[in-house]
C-alpha cells in the first residue's frame, strides 16, 4: 500500500488530519522516564499508545535521535518497529530533510525506507531532480519537498524572485509538474505562512498532500492554516504539532495530557475542514 493510500484510509478511520511529531528531546522527557533503559522509546511508546486513534501520521525528527548517538538510532528503530507491529495502518514520515548527490542519497533512502521502514521522508530541493530520483523512483514510498519552511528566516532564500516569482513557488511548480511523475512527491509548507500555503495549494491542486508544520508554539493559527491547506474535499493537509502535544506535561500524566492536546487539535481542525 502506498503512502497516499495509507493516509487516505487512516484519515477516514480516525477522522483526523493531525500529525504528531515525535521530536523526543531526551532532556525534555519526564524525569521518571529518563531513568529507564530506553527512555526515548518508552516515551514514544506511551505517546503513541495514547494518541493512535486521534492521528493520521507520526513524524519522528532525525535530529533528536542522532543527537544521542547509537542508542538514539536504536530507539528510533524501536519506535518505527513498534508502529509497524502495533499500528501498521498509521504511516510514518521520517523528518530528515536530506539532500546530497545521487549516490549518497541512495544510502539515505535505504536507511529511511529499508532500515526504518518509513513510508515517507522530508527532502531539500536544492540538488534538483537528478539526485532526488533515488527517492522518487521508490514508487511504494513518498517524499515531502521543503517548499516554504516554518522558521522566521525562511524568506531569506525562499522569497528570492526567480523569473518573476518567489523561489518557493518555482519549487512548488517543479514538484507538481516535473517531480511527481510517480505520484509520490509532495510538499512541505509551514503554518506560520498561510498566504504562501494557500498559493502552494492552488499551484499543486487537489488530491495532493501538504505536510504543514508550525502549529501552536511556532505561531501557526489552526483556522487559517486549515482553510488554506486542505483541498476541495477537506483532505490532504497533514497538520503537525510536536512539542505542543508530546511535552504538554512533564509529569506522570504526560501521555494523558498528550492525548488531550491531540484530541483538542483534531476537534479544532475538523471545525474548519469544509470549504
State residue 275's pLDDT score.
62
Which domains occur in the chain, in start order? Answer: 3-270 (3.20.20.70)
Distance CA 99, CA 96 (A): 9
Interatomic CA distance for residues 117 and 274, integer angstroms: 33
- Selecting among 8, 77, 97, 264, the annotated active-site residue is 97
**Residues found in the chain:** 275
DSSP 8-state symbol, 115: I
- pLDDT value of position 274: 81
All cell numbers assigned to 184: 509520490
Read off the C-alpha cell for 172.
512548488
28 is catalytic: no
β-strand pairing of 142-148 with 161-162:
unpaired
pLDDT value at residue 220: 79
Residues 65/76, Cβ–Cβ less than 8 Å: yes
Distance CA(197)–CA(124), nearest Å, equals: 17
The structure's pTM equals 0.97
Q: The C-alpha cell of 118 is what?
A: 518509513
Tell me the C-alpha distance between 79 and 47, whole Å: 11
Average pLDDT per run of 10 along the chain, which is 275 residues long?
96 98 98 98 98 98 98 98 98 97 94 98 96 95 97 95 97 97 97 96 97 83 96 97 96 98 97 86
**Which residues neighbour 54 within 8 Å (Cβ) at sequence distance 6 or greater?**
14, 16, 18, 259, 262, 263, 266
Based on its alpha-carbon atoms, the radius of gyration of the chain, rounded to whole angstroms, reads 18
Of residues 265, 176, 173, 259, the one with CA closest to residue 225: 265
Phi and psi dihedrals of 6, rounded to 5? -60, -40
Amino acid at each position: 500500500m502506498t503512502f497516499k493510500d495509507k493516509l487516505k484510509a487512516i484519515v477516514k478511520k480516525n477522522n483526523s488530519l493531525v500529525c504528531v511529531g515525535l521530536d523526543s528531546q531526551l532532556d525534555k522527557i519526564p524525569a521518571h522516564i529518563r531513568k529507564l533503559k530506553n527512555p526515548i522509546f518508552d516515551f514514544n511508546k506511551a505517546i503513541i499508545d495514547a494518541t493512535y486513534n486521534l492521528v493520521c501520521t507520526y513524524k519522528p525528527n532525525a535530529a533528536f535521535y542522532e543527537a544521542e548517538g547509537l542508542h538514539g538510532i536504536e530507539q528510533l528503530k524501536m519506535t518505527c518497529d513498534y508502529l509497524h507491529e502495533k499500528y501498521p495502518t498509521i504511516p510514518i514520515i521520517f523528518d530528515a530533510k536530506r539532500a546530497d548527490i545521487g549516490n549518497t542519497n541512495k544510502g539515505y533512502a535505504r536507511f529511511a525506507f529499508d532500515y526504518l521502514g518509513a513510508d515517507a521522508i522530508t527532502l531539500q530541493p536544492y540538488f534538483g531532480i537528478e539526485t532526488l530520483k533515488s527517492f522518487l523512483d521508490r514508487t511504494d514510498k513518498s517524499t515531502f519537498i521543503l517548499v516554504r519552511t516554518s522558521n522566521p528566516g525562511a524568506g531569506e532564500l525562499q522569497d528570492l524572485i526567480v523569473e518573476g516569482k518567489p523561489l518557493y513557488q518555482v519549487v512548488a511548480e517543479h514538484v507538481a509538474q516535473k517531480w511527481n511523475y510517480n505520484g509520490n512527491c509532495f510538499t512541505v509548507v509551514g503554518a506560520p505562512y498561510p498566504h504562501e500555503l494557500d498559493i502552494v495549494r492552488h499551484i499543486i491542486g487537489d488530491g495532493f498532500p501538504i505536510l504543514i508544520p508550525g502549529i501552536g508554539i511556532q505561531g501557526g493559527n489552526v483556522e487559517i492554516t486549515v482553510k488554506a491547506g486542505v483541498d476541495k474535499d477537506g483532505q490532504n493537509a497533514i497538520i503537525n504539532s510536536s512539542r505542543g502535544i508530546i511535552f504538554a506535561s512533564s509529569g506522570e500524566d504526560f501521555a494523558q495530557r498528550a492525548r488531550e492536546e491531540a484530541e483538542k487539535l483534531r476537534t479544532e481542525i475538523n471545525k474548519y475542514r469544509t470549504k
